[in-house]
Amino acid sequence: MNEYIGFNRPYLTGKEYGYIENAVESLHLSGNGSFTKKCQTYFEERYGFSRCLLTSSCTDALEMAAILCNVGPGDEVIMPSYTFVSTANAFVLRGAKIVFCDSRTDHPGMDEDQLEALITPCTKVIVPVHYAGVACDMDKIMALAEKHGVFVVEDAAQAIDSFYTDGRGVQRPLGSIGHLAAFSFHETKNIISGEGGMLVINHPEFEKRAEVIWEKGTNRSAFFRGEVDKYGWMDMGSSFLPSEMVAAFLWAQLESLDDIQSRRKAIWTAYYDALSLHPVLKNYLPQRPEWTTNNAHMFYLVLSSLEQRSDLIAFLKTKNIQAVFHYQSLHASPFHLQREEPVSLPNCERYSDCLVRLPFFYTMDQGRVIEALNQWKG
């Protein structure tokens, strides 16, 4: 039997252990030390983000965003139903009502044209999710947000190093456009630290408060910069910052960002080129709007039915290859249905039933996966 090819295998650049050792030897083990600052500065300089704060997860960054936007009971937050539970939980924890938007027909991202009809006087935040690193139409979303006076929090968990070309032809990094943005460095993402994430603050008025919420509701960061002579309890907050060992791991990955991205793009292109010649699968290739780049976060196909998808997954399993489906629609989840009336979001339901993701990681033997796919007759 051929060696097992799983859906994901974390990639190590080789520098991780050395930097973790440095962090340990420095005896600054808690957060907000030199590796944390190096990573934050890297993102600020490379992508022009106004301010970055590393967090223990993207989930944490989303929870910080919900606190910063002062989301509370009676507020509504609009997001796609085709997303990870953390996008919704962050706002549910603050007592908000979640209003789900359907996906686009050509892509799982939210259908920007259905957005305005969902906005009410209670809407506080819109959360576009850049699924597979594919940009939502941020011009349209930001214009609606401005018109209705709501915040935009980009769920950029999968969107590192991806860009949106705006109406004036300017390429803008995802995560730099909304008032706030959240990234993930979970081991399934392009750049990893085990668990890990980052909050990006683009709206300067949020900067000071973000740092306080990050440090358990205290002005400890300002104290260590010498700006105040003692630190105290200033606001609500939690322990959202990662330890220096985690930041050291992340730093090793960031040093190889260009290499990791070029390898992932080569894998993506090889899948696309090979499957463009496949008699069945050529009909189910991913599509993306013209305004987005491709950061090669994943390679998915949208098949014609649940049965066909199950057949492909089962076939690949006989070849010792793991392909996986993705989100179950949140609007149809047991938790949401306990709280809200049922709605029908047909595009989202189609992605829940028909989308399948192929194995995708730096060190993979892609030839074997393509060979297996070529043996599948659909």
Ligand X SMILES: *Cc1c(COP(=O)(O)O)cnc(C)c1O
Binding residues for ligand X, per CB under 6 A? 57-59, 83-84, 86-87, 129, 155, 157-158, 184, 186, 197
DSSP string of 17-72, one letter each residue: HHHHHHHHHHT--SSSSHHHHHHHHHHHHHH--SEEEEES-HHHHHHHHHHHTT--
Residue nearer to ligand X on the CB measure, 155 or 215: 155
Question: What order do you get walking across the sheet with 76-80 strand by strand?
Answer: 51-55, 197-201, 180-184, 151-155, 123-126, 76-80, 97-101
Residue nearer to ligand X on the CB measure, 84 or 214: 84
For the chain, report the end-to-end CA distance as a whole number of angstroms: 23
Residue nearer to ligand X on the CB measure, 51 or 186: 186
Residue nearer to ligand X on the CB measure, 150 or 156: 156
* Least distance (Å) between residue 280 CB and ligand X: 28
* Least distance (Å) between residue 151 CB and ligand X: 17
Going by C-alpha positions, the residue among 50, 84, 265 that lies closest to residue 161 is 265
- Please tell me whether residue 292 adopts helix, strand or coil conformation: strand
* Least distance (Å) between residue 369 CB and ligand X: 22
Neighbour count for residue 197 (Cβ, 10 Å): 26
* Least distance (Å) between residue 335 CB and ligand X: 16
Residue nearer to ligand X on the CB measure, 126 or 234: 126
Residue nearer to ligand X on the CB measure, 298 or 372: 298
Extract the tokens encoding 183.
Answer: 């990234």
* Least distance (Å) between residue 290 CB and ligand X: 22
* Least distance (Å) between residue 244 CB and ligand X: 18
Strand ranges for the chain from DSSP E: 51-55, 76-80, 97-101, 123-126, 151-155, 163-165, 171-173, 180-184, 197-201, 300-302, 355-357
